[in-house]
């Protein structure tokens, strides 16, 4: 019976190593507006923490201030978001970094990100130029550039249904065990189970 409990604990640990679940509380927006919609920053309290600025990437979804939901928190590159195109996520990450360092206007950047995932979301020439440039760069940018960029995807949401998806930045980057670390963890747990079984005999 104890061996079964150890095995269940091992699977729980391995599952939690790939993605975390967080509670999102939408506390407000900044003053940036484009096409009649608020753009970056959107402020959230994550797991009851201080307000954090995030960028929305899902144009067809809607939220209201005060709304709360549960979201998966994954690295932007290698995560499992609402959309399927990895290159679009990489381009969105580059745009978000540009907004953060002040080289891209927040509203222009957010329009460009919306257009990545919802083509036709904007006809703004500046936003389309930012989008095109980001896609070109994303194809040659190493994954290490995206360290610390995090995706918050509402549980059960899909394009046009449920809360929006957001991009944020965590520094230092979230800890995601490498395959070797996971292998050592599972091997160690199996060894413990074997030692317990020998001792029980």
Radius of gyration from C-alpha coordinates of the chain: 20
pLDDT tens digits along 162-190: 999 999 998 644 444 444 343 344 444 45
pTM: 0.76
**Confidence at residue 171, expressed as pLDDT on a 0 to 100 scale:** 60
For all residues of the chain together, what is the average pLDDT? 83
Where does residue 36 fall: left (phi above 0), alpha (psi -120 to 50 degrees), or beta otherwise? left
Question: Which of 64, 169, 53, 56 lies closest to 117 in space, CA to CA?
Answer: 56
Higher pLDDT, 54 or 188: 54
As a whole number of Å, the end-to-end CA separation of the chain is 14
Distances in whole angstroms, Cα of residue 12 to Cα of each of 5, 17, 63, 88: 11, 9, 32, 31
The DSSP annotation for 104-120 comes to S-HHHHHHHHHHHHSTT
Distance CA 154, CA 49 (A): 18
The pLDDT score that the predictor gives to residue 190 is: 52
Burial class (CB in 10 A: 0-12, 13-18, 19+), 188: exposed
How far is CA 97 from each of CA 7, 29, 56, 103, 116, rounded to the nearest angstrom?
A: 41, 19, 14, 9, 16
pLDDT in tens, 94-150: 999 999 999 999 999 999 999 999 999 999 999 999 999 999 999 999 999 999 999
């Amino acid at each position: 019976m104890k061996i079964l409990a150890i095995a269940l604990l091992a699977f729980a640990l391995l599952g939690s190593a790939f993605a975390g679940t967080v509670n999102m509380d939408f506390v407000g927006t900044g003053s940036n507006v484009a096409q009649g919609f608020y753009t970056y920053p959107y402020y959230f309290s994550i797991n009851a923490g201080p307000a954090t600025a995030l960028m929305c990437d899902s144009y067809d979804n809607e939220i209201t201030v005060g709304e709360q939901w549960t979201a998966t928190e994954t690295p932007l590159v290698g995560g499992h978001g609402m959309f399927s195109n990895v290159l679009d996520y990489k381009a969105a990450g580059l745009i978000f970094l540009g907004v953060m360092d002040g080289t891209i206007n927040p509203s222009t950047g957010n329009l460009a990100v919306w257009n990545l995932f919802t083509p036709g979301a904007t006809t703004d020439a500046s936003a389309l130029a930012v989008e095109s440039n980001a896609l070109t760069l994303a194809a040659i940018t190493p994954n290490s550039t995206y360290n610390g960029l995090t995706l918050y995807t509402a549980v059960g949401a899909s394009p046009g249904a449920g809360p929006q998806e957001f991009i944020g930045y965590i520094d230092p980057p979230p800890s995601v065990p490498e395959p070797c670390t996971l292998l050592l963890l599972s091997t160690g747990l199996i060894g413990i189970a074997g030692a317990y079984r020998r001792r029980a005999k």
